[in-house]
Structure 1
Amino acid sequence: MNTTTAADDAVRLDKVRKVYGQGAGSVTALNGVSLSFRRGSFTAVMGPSGSGKSTFLHCAAGLDRPTSGTVLLDGQDLSGCDETTLTKMRRERIGFVFQAFNLLPALSVVQNITLPLKLAGRRPDRGRVAEVIERVGLGNRANNRPAELSGGQQQRVAIARALVTGPAVVFADEPTGALDTRTAREVLLLIQESVRALRQTVVMVTHDPVAASYADRVVFLADGRFVGDYYNPTAEAVAERMTRLGAWADEAHGAYDRQPSATGGTF
């Protein structure tokens, strides 16, 4: 499954387990997940409800600590980091884009975008900031406040804010969930362009097969396990797999029927 070396990867998980609670009431949200994400790649993470997608994102991004296993982000083992180091890494090496745009209403576009730099104690590079604002198509909106922007424009601000620090990886959690179909397509094309033009690494959690089809690769989780992946996906192929996975999750919650994936893994 993982044919890359650690130096090739922006993020690498090795046998990651995450258990909530203790004893009979414990819940295993991730159960031995090993995955790697190449630098300059766009990966969608999918799975049925309760498959572990959110826990995966939280552990991969250093927002939560695994019960066991290791997470390497930009070559650094997060298990050896204290909270201060993790906070610094999240500010400087990780970008986040969520379904909720999380913009500060009193700040302008440019102020919202540069906020992570200021929180990290870094002086914004005006040229870099201007380049990012132009890249997301908001050159004529730099001084507007969020209330003066459409939903798609606000998500573009959030993407620019995630990109401005030059992060090792951007984690996107349902970034098009609050957008109409046309606007969602524009945002997904923008994410694609940031991967291709900037060699940005993007890992996107989504439930939408159409959104996943914009990625280079789709990774499937079920019952806390990695159960297959698919390169160069189409929306139809992803939807068909999700249908099978959903049926399995409803009926099995145990050993799954092992079938060959498009990349020689199992599904």
Structure 2
Amino acid sequence: MDTIAVADTVRLNAVRKVYGEGANSVTALDGVTLTFERGSFTAVMGPSGSGKSTFLHCAAGLDRPTSGTVLLDGEDLSGYDETTLTKMRRERIGFIFQSFNLLPALTVLQNITLPLKLAGRRPNRARVTEVIQRVGLGERTGHRPAELSGGQQQRVAIARALVTGPAVVFADEPTGALDTRTAREVLRLMQESVQSLGQTIVMVTHDPVAASYADRVVFLADGRFVGDIYHPTAEVVAERMTHLGAWADEQPAAGGRQMRTSTGGTY
């Protein structure tokens, strides 16, 4: 394994994704090159139609790029057939969704250990217990989703994503269905999993406050990577969002903190 594979959990090289053909084709991603370091928490933001969802689907191996490559721990996902890709996602990628996606008939414990059972792996009791305690659900393992609050359900989803010890966790608007207090608790839990477990998290969000919990915010516009900010604040992120893509045509020149662009300059 080369040095890039050691340093970066996920790497996209010149990824393009085109839907449709000819005059009806739509370019959702247009040559995106990005890396996500091991043990980092990155938020991905952009206006509606910027390519955030397509980015997540390609980076997580849920969709194949039209061209370019996606590497997970240095391995090119395009070399996998669908069966191998499905197995890889179960074992090495965790997912957290806005709608929780828990199975209502299963208990908290059963929902958390489901990915292990699907992968044909015997649950490690110590690991499962550690994850459950970390997300604060030690007294709720026998409950079903309907008996839990929205925040508790999202904690189950986080534990489910972490229990396999994945290389990376992709979170798609994980706080979108939560009130602000509960969202803050969930975001702090995600921060803790990065800081304490060395987990890599990539979170797609539209919320500048949620993005401020990340180490880095990556911005997409019109299917392209247009810059990033390290150590973000909600105010700086919100301001930058007004200067992306077509929105920039209606705004005065950006001021304040500089944002690194995809060409290495700043504005």
- TM-score category (smaller protein): over 0.9
**Paired amino acid for 2:64:** R
Shift of 1:249: 2.0
Rounded to whole Å, the distance in 1 between the matches of 2:247 and 2:206 is 16
Does the CA-based 8 Å contact 1:192-1:214 persist in structure 2?
Answer: yes
Does the CA-based 8 Å contact 1:228-1:265 persist in structure 2?
Answer: no
Matched, 1:249 2:246: yes
TM, length-normalised to structure 1: 0.93
Deviations 1:43-101 (A, max 9, x none): 00000000000000000000000000000012210011000110001000000000001
Residues 49 and 242 of structure 1, relative CA distance in 2, 3 Å threshold: same
Deviations 1:13-71 (A, max 9, x none): 00000000000110000000000000000000000000000000000000000000000
Residues 34 and 266 of structure 1, relative CA distance in 2, 3 Å threshold: farther
Residues 266 and 13 of structure 1, relative CA distance in 2, 3 Å threshold: farther
The corresponding residue for 1:219 is 218
The corresponding residue for 2:155 is 156
Does the CA-based 8 Å contact 1:48-1:249 persist in structure 2?
Answer: no
Does the CA-based 8 Å contact 1:97-1:159 persist in structure 2?
Answer: yes
Shift of 1:243: 1.3
TM, length-normalised to structure 2: 0.93
The corresponding residue for 2:86 is 87
SS of 2:105's equivalent in the other structure is coil
Rounded to whole Å, the distance in 1 between the matches of 2:146 and 2:152 is 10
Does the CA-based 8 Å contact 1:40-1:195 persist in structure 2?
Answer: yes
SS of 1:229's equivalent in the other structure is strand
SS of 2:9's equivalent in the other structure is strand
The corresponding residue for 1:210 is 209
Q: Aligned residue pairs: how many?
A: 258
Rounded to whole Å, the distance in 2 between the matches of 1:14 and 1:181 is 36
Rounded to whole Å, the distance in 1 between the matches of 2:145 and 2:83 is 31
Rounded to whole Å, the distance in 1 between the matches of 2:171 and 2:88 is 17
Rounded to whole Å, the distance in 2 between the matches of 1:148 and 1:249 is 45
Does the CA-based 8 Å contact 1:231-1:262 persist in structure 2?
Answer: no
**Paired amino acid for 2:90:** R
Does the CA-based 8 Å contact 1:162-1:170 persist in structure 2?
Answer: yes
**Paired amino acid for 1:183:** T
Shift of 1:265: 4.3
Shift of 1:7: 2.0
**Paired amino acid for 2:35:** S
The corresponding residue for 1:35 is 34
**Paired amino acid for 1:218:** V
Which runs of 5 or more residues in structure 2 are unaligned? none
Q: Which aligned pairs between 1:1-267 and structure 2 lie closer than 5 A?
A: 5-245=4-244, 248-250=245-247, 261-262=259-260, 264-265=264-265
Does the CA-based 8 Å contact 1:227-1:266 persist in structure 2?
Answer: no
Rounded to whole Å, the distance in 1 between the matches of 2:219 and 2:113 is 34
Deviations 1:102-142 (A, max 9, x none): 11111100000000000000000111101100000001111
Rounded to whole Å, the distance in 2 between the matches of 1:60 and 1:74 is 12
Residues 157 and 265 of structure 1, relative CA distance in 2, 3 Å threshold: farther
Does the CA-based 8 Å contact 2:28-2:51 persist in structure 1?
Answer: yes
Rounded to whole Å, the distance in 2 between the matches of 1:37 and 1:142 is 33
Does the CA-based 8 Å contact 1:169-1:200 persist in structure 2?
Answer: yes
Rounded to whole Å, the distance in 1 between the matches of 2:10 and 2:127 is 25
Shift of 1:261: 2.2
Does the CA-based 8 Å contact 1:195-1:202 persist in structure 2?
Answer: yes
Rounded to whole Å, the distance in 2 between the matches of 1:169 and 1:266 is 29
Shift of 1:244: 1.6
